[in-house]
Structure 1
């Protein structure tokens, strides 16, 4: 499901890091996601979350304009984890509905859509935030 929202402060904990807009920054983004999920005792989300953040970073590396991106991992509510990448491009990513032939690029958002419960783009005056959210299962 694709959603566009207006961001607002929530007071819940978060982690963020500014990284160079280069492919190897995906490794640093994955490390940040691991730390956040471990701190929140949400290890069951790690595998899907690492795939999601890798795809979001890859898209920003390929399509953003400036030399850096910002990775943000938050808990907008107790029931959700949000993975986000902020960049200075206002171009909204599009979920591809075609098979894209034999090309290996262009399918990242299909993976994000499959692994997250919802995802979307927040447009800002200066750029955008592309995010994906995963539902947190309540503790027994």
Structure 2
């Protein structure tokens, strides 16, 4: 398990560490700035390393931001974990935190500008999503289909 220390003030520090969320869980501090690190790690993994389409990558980056936001805002822990997996035709993104409280999928009203849209977006953009309760917390995850198009 790799991680970014709490005292790392610059998100660029994490970027420069060359962390690979597909090799194992990356531990990040439960701070708002960690959402930026998680987005950058996801974008790099999907688009630069796995050469997946930009549209899929953009959607996954948005959903990572939502799951990380929930973990930071609601889990009440010092850190959370990020892991990205790939299998034939699918990607899976997991955010683990030590809280066993389940996320709530609230109805979204037109006036909801700032909050309440996270799981609505996950439900809309992901092909599948869920929460696995663990002995030491939970893993909130989403999966997206990867359609391959020949290049050229």
Of the candidates 99, 107, 125, which is equivalent to residue 89 of structure 1? 99
Structure 1-normalised TM-score? 0.83
Q: Which position in structure 1 is the counterpart of 2:37?
A: 28
Bigger relative contact order, structure 1 or 2, given CA contacts below 8 A and separation 6+? 1
Larger strand share, 1 or 2? 1
- Aligned CA RMSD, in angstroms, stands at 1.8
Structure 2-normalised TM-score? 0.77
In the TM superposition, residue 137 of structure 1 has moved relative to its aligned partner by 0.2
Contact 2:26–2:81 (8 Å) recurs in 1:
yes
Number of residue equivalences: 127
Contact 1:119–1:131 (8 Å) recurs in 2:
yes
Mark the runs of 5 or more structure 1 residues left unpaired by the alignment: 1-12
* CA deviation map 1:77-122 (0-9, x unaligned): 2111111110000011121125285462122100111111111001
Which 4+ stretches in 1 moved above 4 angstroms?
100-103
CA distance in 2, matches of 1:54, 1:129: 15
Counterpart check, 1:73 vs 2:98: no
